[in-house]
């Protein structure tokens, strides 16, 4: 409903000016909460700001290079390493969010200087809280070189879905060096959800901070603050009591350190959605010299790493000397709600109050509890590492923030004796800028591995993707001169491989150096990814008369790593490794560089290879996994004299061009399991040559290719047929 409400406090003069505006320029309107069909709930032309958010690995900025209208558009350069990177219109940043049961029309103008395709998809949480990617809406827009193209997507959000997460503009076809521009992004309501009765709020718990003896065991502060139950006239929101929080001078402002935690005497059950209302207050006195205070907000169950448990998603600010309400709805809790932390969101002193109060906390439950399956690892299953203890190591990925999960840790120790950091050891995280190294996440993971007697594989040192520009590129985005890139590589590898020396058993020294090609190369160098920033920098100043080329970075990377950490096994790692041209290129490279190393003066171990192992990423698809090609590839690598590692194994259902979106049927699960069994038959045959088999993910729900259900364990963490296929491939194939 659109209503015109003149400013009742305005003067007559202001009213006249407003009337002129009404007639000649704009109609000032006050929008009520109600939305109508035809309302535009989002518009971005990038003229004064950008409100689209990062999604995955992407560089994006407002630019004057091109514009569909006005002066500005948004340039977006996503990685080609995955199909989801790009920019997102996040629903939680919309003042009027998209709702289940609603229908919407997205329009945008898109541009690319080269022919390309642009993926646009809707991401939601379905009725059980699982993520969906593109099921609700998906278009693939062809972008003709040099033209602004209209992109339109009409979609309906199913009424049974829990929520809408985002609309994402992404590099669906994983086009290398994709650079596209967006302008005039608009989201319109085309149908409203059927009105639903708001479920009843059941009042669960209230605190007014007038019962110190009852409350002081429930509310605690960590090391940075102290708490006091204050009783003074008018101090509370509606009464004379409030909980006072004082920052202890000199202590950090980091996360929980500076929060107040409520530990519920009885956790609120899983399957519920809860409403939390609480009031915050910060007085001027005690907060002198501060910047604008950021927040406040709450964090559920100590989950500081998960954005969905940090509420509200838009924190805003806390004005001094005014009570401010935080009024949030939790997601459907998959685990019981045990703790709620109250805090000002930022970790830096100027934006965080030193003296603040909370009062009138009310926690209620929305509607009835839903029955949910709480995923649980079954530790009575046969162990993967025990099964393969005489054959090879069995690995999986972890991230630093997962190491706090005791149940996950127990499961990991049971099935895996090797860990690869899914992200924490990638160059962009370890060294975002020259001279800057950040080892804290990686060290947390490595300490966890050490405590649990799990070996660590280092991933990865030299890669064209997810690496900070300082290594290879100048501030104008041009390749550095060869000598400078060489010096940077030396600095990086010496620092990083030096830091982890003795803590990793092996390194992916160079990752994915080959292009996406075809046809047998006569020379492996001709098959390299020529637009890799490392290749370009090494080419910049290469003396061709001495046989130098961009390809030389590979040999340098291996030699530098060997000299820095002589004990580590050195891998070259790549995907599509079973394609004939690529396996040949990989093998030829290993053969040539290993031969070169034999006569290198720096080589103190004449019997040892430089590239000791070739990593087969093994990111397969059920529709076209060719078991024979896997066998042939391993045989070819063995012939090259190197060891083999299966480094990132997963087999989502379907194919790259026909991706699966639904849970697997019994037949589909069996089909996938047979492929796992056949693969492991091959791996066992070559056990003497295979160092390790690493899976890329633990449960289907946690996979980077989750929608194809690619792993051994399902969303409830239950063992799938594929697990039993891996445990005993021969019997499995015989019986099924
Ligand atoms: Ca514009
Ligand atoms: Ca009170």
CATH number at residue 679: 3.20.20.80
Please state the domain count of the chain.
Answer: 4
Q: Which ligand ends up closest to the CA of 69?
A: 1
Pick the range with the lowest mean pLDDT from 14-28, 70-84, 222-236, 320-334.
Answer: 14-28
* CA of residue 69 to ligand 1 center, whole Å: 5
Residues 214 and 357 in one domain: yes
pLDDT per residue as tens digits for the range 696-723: 999 998 899 988 999 999 988 999 999 9
Instruction: Answer yes or no: is pLDDT of 23 > 60.
Output: no
pLDDT of residue 272: 92
- Entry pTM: 0.61
Helix, strand, or coil here: 712? coil
* CA of residue 135 to ligand 2 center, whole Å: 48
* CA of residue 214 to ligand 2 center, whole Å: 14
Q: Which ligand ends up closest to the CA of 230?
A: 2
Residue 222's Cβ-count burial label (10 Å; 0-12, 13-18, 19+) is: middle
* CA of residue 90 to ligand 1 center, whole Å: 20
* CA of residue 103 to ligand 1 center, whole Å: 26
What average pLDDT score do residues 359-375 get?
88
Instruction: Answer yes or no: is pLDDT of 148 > 80.
Output: yes
Residues 575 and 619 in one domain: yes
Instruction: Answer yes or no: is pLDDT of 10 > 70.
Output: no
Q: Which ligand ends up closest to the CA of 238?
A: 2
pLDDT of residue 31: 37
Residue 323 lies in a domain: yes
Residue 377 lies in a domain: no
* CA of residue 109 to ligand 1 center, whole Å: 10
* CA of residue 70 to ligand 1 center, whole Å: 5
Residues 126 and 212 in one domain: no
* CA of residue 182 to ligand 1 center, whole Å: 8
* CA of residue 169 to ligand 1 center, whole Å: 17
Residues 98 and 211 in one domain: no
Residue 376 lies in a domain: no
* CA of residue 232 to ligand 2 center, whole Å: 10
Residue 482 lies in a domain: yes
* CA of residue 357 to ligand 2 center, whole Å: 10
Q: Which ligand ends up closest to the CA of 358?
A: 2
Residue 279 lies in a domain: yes
Helix axes 627-639, 666-685, angle to 10 degrees: 20
Instruction: Answer yes or no: is pLDDT of 549 > 50.
Output: yes
Is residue 340 within 8 A of residue 680, CB to CB? The reply is: no
CA 536, distance to chain mean position in Å, is 28
* CA of residue 308 to ligand 2 center, whole Å: 29
Rounded CA-CA distance 198/111 in Å is: 43
pLDDT of residue 658: 85
Instruction: Answer yes or no: is pLDDT of 660 > 90.
Output: no
pLDDT per residue as tens digits for the range 153-189: 999 999 989 899 999 999 999 999 999 999 999 999 9
pLDDT per residue as tens digits for the range 58-106: 999 999 999 999 999 999 999 998 899 999 999 989 989 999 999 999 9
Task: Among 148, 171, 191, give the residue marking a domain's end.
Answer: 191
Residue 439 vs residue 346, higher pLDDT:
439
* CA of residue 624 to ligand 2 center, whole Å: 65
Instruction: Answer yes or no: is pLDDT of 8 > 80.
Output: no
Give which of 116, 161, 109, 117 is closest to 135, Cα–Cα: 161
Residues 692 and 543 in one domain: yes
CATH code where residue 155 lies = 2.60.120.260
Domain interval for residue 294: 201-366
Residue 558 phi, psi (nearest 5): -65, -45
Q: Which ligand ends up closest to the CA of 67?
A: 1
Residues 558 and 684 in one domain: yes
466 φ/ψ sector (left φ>0, alpha ψ -120 to 50, else beta): left
Residues 130 and 252 in one domain: no
* CA of residue 46 to ligand 1 center, whole Å: 5
What does 445-480 look like in DSSP terms, one character per residue?
HHHHHHHTT-EEEEEEEEESSS--GGGTB-TTSPBP
Task: Among 191, 214, 246, give the residue marking a domain's end.
Answer: 191
Q: Which ligand ends up closest to the CA of 184?
A: 1
pLDDT of residue 678: 98
What average pLDDT score do residues 671-687 get?
98
* CA of residue 240 to ligand 2 center, whole Å: 6
Reported as a pLDDT band with limits 50, 70 and 90, residue 373 is confident
Q: Which ligand ends up closest to the CA of 44?
A: 1
pLDDT per residue as tens digits for the range 279-314: 999 999 999 999 999 989 999 999 987 888 999 988
* CA of residue 733 to ligand 1 center, whole Å: 59
* CA of residue 359 to ligand 2 center, whole Å: 5
Instruction: Answer yes or no: is pLDDT of 197 > 80.
Output: no
Give which of 222, 226, 283, 278 is closest to 254, Cα–Cα: 222
Q: Which ligand ends up closest to the CA of 74?
A: 1
Helix, strand, or coil here: 300? strand
Sheet holding 260-268, edge to edge: 219-221, 260-268, 337-343, 297-300, 310-311
Reported as a pLDDT band with limits 50, 70 and 90, residue 129 is confident
Instruction: Answer yes or no: is pLDDT of 255 > 60.
Output: yes
* CA of residue 360 to ligand 2 center, whole Å: 6
Q: Which ligand ends up closest to the CA of 209?
A: 2
Residue 611 lies in a domain: yes
* CA of residue 50 to ligand 1 center, whole Å: 10
Q: Could you identify the residue written with the tokens 């509420």?
A: 311
Residues 106 and 165 in one domain: yes
Residues 15 and 60 in one domain: no
pLDDT of residue 19: 40
Residues 285 and 412 in one domain: no
* CA of residue 71 to ligand 1 center, whole Å: 6
pLDDT per residue as tens digits for the range 311-363: 998 888 999 999 999 999 999 998 899 999 999 988 889 999 999 999 999 99
Q: Could you identify the residue written with the tokens 């100048």?
A: 474
Residues 152 and 212 in one domain: no
Instruction: Answer yes or no: is pLDDT of 396 > 80.
Output: yes
* CA of residue 155 to ligand 1 center, whole Å: 25
Rounded CA-CA distance 335/101 in Å is: 27
pLDDT per residue as tens digits for the range 31-41: 345 789 999 99
Give which of 338, 291, 347, 339 is closest to 318, Cα–Cα: 291
Residue 373 lies in a domain: no
Residues 27 and 48 in one domain: no
Residue 196 lies in a domain: no
């Amino acid at each position: 409903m659109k209503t015109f409400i003149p400013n009742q406090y305005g003067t007559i003069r202001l009213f006249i000016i407003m009337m002129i505006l009404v007639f000649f320029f704009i109609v000032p309107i006050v929008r009520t909460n109600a939305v109508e069909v035809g309302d535009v709930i989002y518009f971005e032309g990038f003229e004064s700001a950008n409100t689209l958010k990062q999604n995955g690995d992407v560089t994006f900025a407002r630019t004057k290079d091109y514009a569909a209208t006005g002066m500005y558009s948004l340039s977006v350069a996503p990685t080609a390493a995955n199909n989801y990177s790009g920019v997102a219109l996040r629903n939680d940043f919309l003042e009027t969010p998209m709702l289940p049961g609603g229908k919407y029309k997205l329009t945008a103008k898109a541009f690319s200087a080269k022919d390309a395709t642009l993926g646009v998809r809707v991401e939601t949480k379905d009725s059980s809280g699982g993520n969906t990617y593109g099921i609700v809406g998906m278009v693939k827009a062809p972008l003709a070189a040099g033209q602004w193209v209209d992109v339109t997507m009409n979609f309906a959000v199913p009424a049974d879905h829990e929520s809408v997460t985002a609309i994402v503009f992404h590099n669906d076809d994983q086009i290398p060096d994709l650079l596209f521009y967006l302008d005039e992004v608009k989201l319109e309501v085309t149908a409203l959800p059927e009105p639903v009765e708001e479920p009843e709020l059941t009042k669960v718990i209230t605190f007014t901070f007038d019962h110190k003896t009852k409350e002081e065991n429930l509310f605690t502060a960590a090391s940075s603050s102290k708490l006091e139950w204050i009783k003074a006239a008018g101090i509370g929101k509606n009464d004379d009591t409030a909980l006072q929080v004082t920052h202890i001078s000199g202590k950090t402002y980091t996360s929980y350190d500076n929060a107040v935690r409520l530990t519920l005497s009885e956790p609120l059950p899983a399957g519920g959605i809860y409403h939390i209302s609480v009031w915050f207050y910060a007085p001027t006195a005690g907060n002198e010299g501060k910047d604008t205070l950021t927040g406040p907000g709450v964090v559920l169950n100590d989950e500081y790493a998960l954005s969905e448990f940090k509420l509200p998603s838009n924190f805003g600010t806390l004005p001094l000397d005014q009570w401010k309400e935080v009024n949030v709805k939790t997601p459907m809790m998959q685990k019981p709600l045990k703790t709620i932390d109250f805090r000002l969101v930022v970790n830096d002193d100027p934006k965080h109050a030193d003296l603040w109060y909370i009062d009138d906390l009310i926690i209620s439950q929305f509607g009835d509890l839903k029955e949910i399956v709480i995923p649980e690892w079954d530790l009575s299953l046969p162990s993967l590492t025990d099964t393969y203890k005489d054959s090879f190591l069995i690995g999986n990925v972890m991230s630093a923030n997962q190491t706090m999960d005791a149940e996950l840790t127990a499961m990991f120790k049971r099935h895996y004796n090797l860990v690869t950091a899914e992200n924490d050891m990638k160059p962009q995280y370890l060294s975002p800028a020259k001279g800057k190294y950040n080892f804290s996440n990686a060290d947390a993971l490595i300490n966890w591995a050490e405590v649990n007697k799990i070996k660590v594989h280092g991933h990865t040192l030299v890669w064209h993707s997810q690496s900070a520009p300082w290594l290879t590129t100048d501030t104008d985005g041009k390749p550095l001169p060869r000598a400078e890139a060489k010096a940077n590589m030396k600095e990086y590898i010496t620092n990083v491989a030096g830091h982890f020396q003795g803590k990793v058993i092996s390194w992916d020294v160079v990752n994915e150096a080959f292009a996406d090609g075809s046809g047998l190369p006569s020379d492996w160098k001709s098959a390299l990814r020529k637009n890799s920033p490392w290749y370009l920098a090494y080419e910049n100043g290469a003396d061709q008369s001495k046989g130098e080329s961009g390809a030389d970075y590979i040999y340098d990377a291996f030699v530098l790593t060997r000299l820095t950490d002589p004990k580590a096994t050195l891998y070259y790692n790549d995907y599509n490794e079973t394609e004939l041209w690529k396996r040949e290129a990989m093998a030829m490279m290993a053969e040539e560089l290993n031969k070169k190393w034999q006569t290198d003066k720096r080589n103190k171990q004449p019997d040892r290879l430089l590239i000791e192992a070739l990593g087969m990423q093994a990111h397969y698809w059920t529709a076209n996994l060719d078991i024979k090609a896997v066998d042939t590839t391993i045989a070819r690598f063995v012939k090259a004299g190197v060891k083999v590692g299966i480094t990132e194994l997963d087999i989502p259902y379907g194919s790259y061009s026909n991706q699966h979106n639904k849970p697997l049927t019994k037949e589909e699960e069996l089909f996938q399991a047979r492929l796992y069994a056949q693969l492991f038959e091959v791996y066992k045959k070559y056990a003497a040559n295979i160092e390790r088999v690493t899976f890329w993910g633990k449960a289907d729900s946690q996979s980077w290719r989750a929608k194809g259900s690619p792993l051994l364990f399902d969303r409830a963490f239950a063992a799938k047929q594929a697990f039993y296929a891996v445990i005993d491939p021969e019997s499995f194939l015989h019986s099924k």
